[in-house]
Amino acid sequence: MSVIARIYRALLILLSLPGILVTIYAGASTASLLWAELFPDPDDIAHGMAMAHAFIPMIVWDAAGIGYLLILWLLWLLTGKLCGKDRRST
């Protein structure tokens, strides 16, 4: 694999870190809200408000993070295909 391809793949790995963190945070927040919905605390008076204002945005952020990581994965595969041609020709 060429040096440029290695640098490109290293940049893809660095670019994937924020996507991973956003996806983990949004997924954990969604799971926490679902847990609070299924097993409500009678002392939590703000439960409905948190569910109404945070549940849908967290699902959207989770889907956006997964989409971002999917695009980076496709770029990773494209880099492998393009570098594979260089390896076979030498």
What pLDDT digit, counting tens, does each position of 7-51 carry? 999 999 999 999 999 999 999 988 888 888 778 777 776 666 667
pLDDT of residue 10: 92
pLDDT of residue 85: 60
Contact present, 33 and 55 (Cβ < 8 Å): yes
DSSP structure class, residue 40: -
pLDDT of residue 55: 83
pLDDT of residue 43: 78
pLDDT of residue 48: 67
pTM of the entire structure? 0.76
Cα–Cα distance for residue pair 44/49, rounded to 1 Å: 10
